[in-house]
Amino acid sequence: MARTNGTILEARLLSLRFGAIAALRDVSIQIGAGKIHALIGPNGAGKSSLLNCLSGFYVPWKGSVIFEGRDISALRPNLRAQAGIARTFQGIQTYPGMTARENILTGFHGRMTGGVFAALFRWPAAIRQEEAFTARAEEIIDFLELEEHRHTMVGEMPYGLRKRVDLGRALALEPKILVMDEPMAGMSPEEKAILARYILDIRDNFEIPVVLVEHDMEVVMDISDQVTVLEFGAVIADGTPAQVRADPRVIAAYLGSTQSADAAAVEVSA
């Protein structure tokens, strides 16, 4: 592995535009190995856009993405997933007509080697791989405590449970980093507490760093090692939860200071 100085994933001076809108303006971020890194900021600040640039779904017009010391800017999303960057999306991404276990098994798709023919003709290598995936799916079901729900249709599950299955699908990739967009949106406080515990366990037991977008400040301050704050497509603060909470620009952004909003609006339209 190339030298990374403890950084596993990094964005360097990313800029992204949608017509007149500057979704990202020279955004740099460093995700530390073994860290929970939260991305916060008001609606439209560019949080999802940044995650999409990290996972390859959006292509910035400027800047680069470095993963384990390697420039992956030119890699398509499926290749970034294969390299170990797993992603969950805003809202629900599970298949409602499939069971929890089947949904988790779909997560292995990106890791199948040997192709369709090997699977179709049940070549020994394909069978071995299928067995390994099935065993791993069971580990994930255990870890996420989904045992009693493994044969339940996901469409019949409450929201919090469905998001847990979605997380299981992402873990099936055996990722080196997990990127989650608002995994707790729409959850009850109890569901949030459960998911927060799994995220901490993913960091501590699997040693997988997690980047997550989250609006609930209490959760962010509780579980994050590092917090980056975006506003109008730019990073306005970056540090530990305590540092970020005390930052005057963050306080202004969250209290909706008209001064900073006006200044950013002028810059965007310029």
- What is the contact surface with ligand ATP in residues (CB under 6 A)? 18, 21, 23, 41, 43-49
Whole-number Å distance between alpha carbons of 130 and 146: 21
CB 229 within 8 A of CB 250: yes
- Which residue is at the shortest CB distance from Mg ion? 48
Residues 6 or more apart whose CB falls under 8 angstroms from that of 148 comprise none
**Angle of helix 189-204 relative to helix 159-171, nearest 10 degrees?**
10
Closer residue to ligand ATP (CB): 49 or 228: 49
CB of 91 to ligand ATP, least distance (A): 10
Closer residue to ligand ATP (CB): 103 or 228: 228
Residue 45: name its binding partner from ligand ATP, Mg ion, none (Cβ under 5 to 8 Å by kind): ligand ATP
CB of 253 to ligand ATP, least distance (A): 12
Q: Among residues 95, 59, 61, which one has the least CA distance to residue 75?
A: 59
Q: Among residues 142, 33, 53, 147, which one has the least CA distance to residue 99?
A: 147
Closer residue to ligand ATP (CB): 58 or 108: 58
Whole-number Å distance between alpha carbons of 81 and 79: 5
Q: Convert residues 39-78 into a mask of x (bound to Mg ion by CB under 5 A) and - (unbound).
A: --------xx------------------------------
Residue 44: name its binding partner from ligand ATP, Mg ion, none (Cβ under 5 to 8 Å by kind): ligand ATP
Closer residue to ligand ATP (CB): 59 or 125: 59
Residues 6 or more apart whose CB falls under 8 angstroms from that of 129 comprise 112, 113, 114
Which positions touch Mg ion (CB under 5 A)?
A: 47-48
